């Protein structure tokens, strides 16, 4: 049994050894991908091979993949539609990089509420679209709805939303950063016009992402300069990072079948946690979720205490969204679901991955059970 149990895959997944090997190989390619000489062409070929692999993860065309510096940048680029009047709608549980609104002014953004299970209220979206967007009139709707939430894992009805959005001539962006590599994704089936991805969530390197968009959709570049990425994102490409992203995407696509085993481990963890503390709440537990994610709280506990206690016991999990780790503040996702602050403050996120084993679950349950018991006793004594 290894010395630590890493159960924070939604924060970042460990780099896959095959990715590291491919990246080390790519570091030896020294040409600039924009150069016409042999060295440049070698770098270009490496990027284009990776582009095809990333496109394949979504069943998209390689030409429609724009490499970016991360998922955050992909979201920012998506939220910069070209020319015309737009009104933006986004779910209240989007990642902060979407919630900022990108180039939309705050007055042009409407937040779509979610149910207590953490799923977007589709009726609200439909009625907003019907109220504001009659075909051929007014501003076009730009809707951003993530495939899966990073805190709860709750899967969102992207395909159904796409139908309503397209019926009024709108555009749908989906942040698939957490879903990619964990559930099968197909751009056509999703109905999304723009999809954001991030390499490090699926075993690739940190600092590489992509925005994948349909041919008919255009975005306003955020970074201008050279003609890279078909003039949609200037800057010399991060060749080794992009190569690593390609390999990670290829492996993730091939290993989607392993999600069932990961879900079994996650379900066992929840069942046994509920046996230890029947008062525990599993958020979004009743609905389809990512197979690897469990967000739970024991009322009266503080996530901070649990995360530190678990860390000392050799288990890495996070509290709230913890995208920028160390941050411990009330989760906007749980708030949007109407979870009482005294419950939300105890929420921890356990996220499994390809390297998770039954021994990791045992270590988590041992440490978590001990902490919960200790906290219960100190509350009684107080």
Residue window 346-375: x/- pattern of binding to ligand PLP, with contact defined by CB under 6 A: ------------------------------
How many residues does the structure list for the chain? 382
Torsion of CA 296, 330, 291, 354, to 10 degrees: -100
Task: In whole angstroms, give the CA distance from residue 326 to residue 318.
Answer: 9
> In what side-by-side order are the strands of the sheet with 109-112?
65-68, 209-213, 194-198, 171-175, 140-144, 86-91, 109-112
Indicate which single residue of 5, 91, 150, 301 sits in contact with ligand PLP (rule: CB under 6 A). Answer: 150
| 91 scored as a contact of ligand PLP (CB under 6 A) | no
Which residue is listed with tokens 């149910």? 115
Of 3, 10, 11, 6, the C-alpha closest to 324 is: 11
* H or E stretch covering 66: strand 65-68
Q: Choose between 323 and 343: whose C-beta lies nearer to ligand PLP.
A: 323
Answer yes or no whether residue 70 interacts with ligand PLP by CB under 6 A. Answer: yes
Q: Which is nearer to ligand PLP, 146 or 243 (CB)?
A: 146
CB 22 within 8 A of CB 243: yes
Binding positions for ligand PLP, 284-343, rule CB under 6 A: 323
Least distance between ligand PLP and beta carbon 71 (Å): 3
> Is residue 175 involved in binding ligand PLP (CB under 6 A)?
yes
Q: What's the CA gap between 336 and 141, in Å, rounded?
A: 22
User: Of 198 and 345, which has the nearer Cβ to ligand PLP?
Assistant: 198
| Cβ count near 236 (within 10 Å) | 12
Instruction: Report in angstroms how near the CB of residue 314 gets to ligand PLP at its nearest.
Output: 23
User: What is the total count of residues that contact ligand PLP (CB under 6 A)?
Assistant: 15
Region class of 191: left (phi > 0), else alpha (psi between -120 and 50), else beta? left
Kindly indicate which of the ranges 65-73, 99-107, 253-261, 353-361 contains the residues binding ligand PLP, using the contact rule CB under 6 A: 65-73
The closest residue (CB) to ligand PLP is 71
For 189-220, letters b (16+ CB in 10 Å) and e give ebbbbbbbbbbbbbbbbebbbbbbbbeebebe
By CB under 6 A, residue 72 contacts ligand PLP? yes
- How crowded is residue 182: how many other Cβ atoms within 10 Å of its Cβ? 31
Q: Give whichever of 104 and 372 is closer to ligand PLP, judged by the CB atom.
A: 104
| Whether residue 323 lies in the annotated active site | yes
Tell me how far, at minimum, the Cβ of 6 lies from ligand PLP, in Å: 16
**Which residue's CB is nearer to ligand PLP, number 80 or number 323?**
323
Report the interface residues with ligand PLP, using CB under 6 A.
70-72, 75, 95, 97, 146, 150, 175, 177-178, 198, 200, 209, 323
Catalytic residue set: 323
């Amino acid at each position: 049994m290894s010395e630590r149990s890493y159960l924070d895959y939604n924060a970042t997944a460990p780099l896959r050894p095959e990715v590291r090997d491919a990246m080390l190989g790519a570091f030896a390619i020294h040409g600039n991908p924009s150069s016409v000489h042999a060295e440049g062409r070698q770098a270009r070929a490496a990027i284009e091979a990776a582009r095809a692999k990333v496109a394949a993860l979504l069943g998209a065309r390689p030409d429609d993949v724009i490499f970016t510096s991360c998922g955050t940048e992909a979201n920012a680029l998506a939220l910069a539609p070209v020319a015309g009047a737009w009104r933006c709608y986004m779910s209240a549980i989007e990642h902060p990089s979407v919630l900022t609104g990108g180039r939309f002014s705050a007055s042009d953004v409407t937040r779509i509420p979610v149910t207590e299970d953490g799923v977007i209220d589709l009726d609200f979206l439909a009625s907003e679209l019907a109220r504001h967007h009659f075909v051929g009139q007014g501003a076009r709707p730009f809707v951003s709805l993530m495939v899966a939430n990073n805190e709860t894992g709750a899967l969102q009805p992207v395909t159904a939303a796409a139908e309503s959005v397209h019926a009024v001539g709108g555009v749908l962006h989906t942040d698939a950063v957490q879903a990619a590599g964990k559930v099968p994704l197909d751009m056509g089936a999703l109905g999304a016009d723009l999809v954001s991805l991030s390499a490090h969530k699926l075993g690739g390197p940190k600092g590489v992402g992509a925005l994948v968009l349909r041919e008919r959709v255009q975005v306003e570049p955020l970074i201008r300069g050279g003609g890279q990425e078909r003039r949609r994102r200037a800057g010399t490409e991060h060749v080794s990072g992009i190569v690593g992203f390609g390999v990670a995407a290829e492996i993730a696509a091939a290993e989607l079948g392993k999600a069932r085993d990961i879900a079994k481990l996650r379900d066992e963890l929840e069942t046994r946690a509920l046996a230890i503390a029947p008062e525990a709440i599993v958020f979004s537990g009743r609905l389809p979720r990512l197979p690897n994610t469990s967000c739970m709280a024991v009322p009266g506990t503080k996530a901070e205490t649990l995360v530190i206690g678990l860390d000392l016991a050799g288990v890495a999990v996070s509290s709230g969204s913890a995208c920028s780790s160390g941050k411990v503040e009330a989760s906007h996702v749980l708030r949007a679901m109407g979870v009482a602050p005294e419950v939300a403050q105890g929420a921890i996120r356990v996220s499994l991955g390809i390297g998770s084993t039954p021994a990791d679950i045992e270590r988590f349950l041992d440490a978590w059970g001990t902490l919960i018991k200790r906290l219960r006793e100190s509350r009684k004594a107080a």
